[in-house]
Structure 1
């Protein structure tokens, strides 16, 4: 098994699981449905092509929260293009200045094709909604050693430099990981309805997915390097 890692960073992101009427919320981390949809778009998979979607949906998914961002709310107004009639006022939520590392585990040929598709996408990637383009290249790496959990422990911290500065006094940082539960973890796992079955506009369908929350500790590249100080150095100088 190989692991494809993605860096999801941008001014705004929005990863919704449910939308009720005019209120559209966002989860605190990318959903599997949203990330698989982005990969399918990059590979040119058309909406409604469930046969092409199935291998992507079968990939094991996990995400690491490198920079949680700030939740914000926006009000949207719209008018019908032909009649000019005002549409209902909608309330939409976003994550501002967030950074995530997403990982997908599966067969190498499929992941290598997706990695290449992200470099030359058929349809441009976006972070949950079309109004949320990524600020940096999405493709991060293709790993042939270690499983999903190990890779999420080893990928360097991707948070923005301004965010890392507030942790300069820490040599390591602890980050939250949300990943698909193993078979022996399902009894204590949470569920989320973001397992994509079909993206067809007429019958978009999702199934429940078991997820667990974990933590990883990784080095902080922005840690302050304190000068070496040995109080006995002064005594050695006096005795010379």
Structure 2
């Protein structure tokens, strides 16, 4: 197996897995349906096209820069033509839409080498515009990071930190701990279920399946770090007191 790595970063992201009616929520990390949708757009697939080649991919996500949750209120009006030919405007219900601001994620897709290489090529020259969950959320900078012959967990644990340089400089530690979420292996303990595995994007019969996921964390080197937590001098340690740092 091989993996293709993607950097998902932008001013706004929104990864809905359970949005209903006027409340459009976002998960705190990219969903599988959202990432597969991005790949499908890069290939130039229509919403009614089959997804069989992409359904077997395994996904892993690392929160390199978690960002902040933002709520937005949106209003809209609908025009209705009356019998006399005139137009009247009717207000639609106020909607609540949630976004992640200033976030950056490492998303890794695991599959056959030929498939992940074709995904990498498609992301670099997409047929349709790419966006981070919603059309109002364009990415900031290149998405494709390349292909390696690693498994999912190894890629999440070894790929360089993808946070912005300003965020990296805010952390003095040489090593940072980052949260990860990935598709669980069959029978793997400590899993939870998410209904965000796409089966069909057809507007007339959208279908999503449950997938088992597992959460954890990895330690990644900080290129701007200056402090080694394991050797940092703590003058209060001999007295049993708290650190002054």
| TM-score past 0.5 threshold | yes
How many residues are paired up? 221
Runs of 4+ in structure 1 over 4 Å off: none
Q: Which residue of 2 aligns with 1:35?
A: 35
Unpaired segments ≥5 residues, structure 2 = 82-88, 229-245
Deviation at 1:89, TM superposition (A): 1.1
* C-alpha distance 119-81 of structure 1, shift in aligned 2 (>3 A): farther
Matched, 1:56 2:54: yes
- Residue pairs, 1:68-79, within 5 angstroms: 68-79=66-77
Matched, 1:205 2:187: no
Q: Which residue of 2 aligns with 1:128?
A: 133
Q: Which residue of 1 aligns with 2:99?
A: 94
Structure 1 window deviating more from structure 2 (108-117 vs 35-44): it is 108-117
Q: Match of 2:62, SS?
A: strand
In 2, Cα distance between equivalents of 1:109 and 1:43? 14
TM-score scaled by structure 2?
0.87
Deviation at 1:225, TM superposition (A): 7.1
Deviation at 1:224, TM superposition (A): 2.1
In 1, Cα distance between equivalents of 2:168 and 2:139? 20
Deviation at 1:82, TM superposition (A): 6.2
Deviation at 1:85, TM superposition (A): 2.6
User: Please, which of 159, 164, 167 is the counterpart of residue 163 of structure 1?
Assistant: 167
- Residue pairs, 1:2-13, within 5 angstroms: 2-13=2-13
User: CA deviation digits over 1:133-168, x for unaligned, max 9?
Assistant: 001111111112x21111111110010122112212
In 2, Cα distance between equivalents of 1:171 and 1:112? 32
Matched, 1:147 2:137: no
Unpaired segments ≥5 residues, structure 1 = 227-240
TM-score scaled by structure 1?
0.89
In 2, Cα distance between equivalents of 1:188 and 1:224? 35
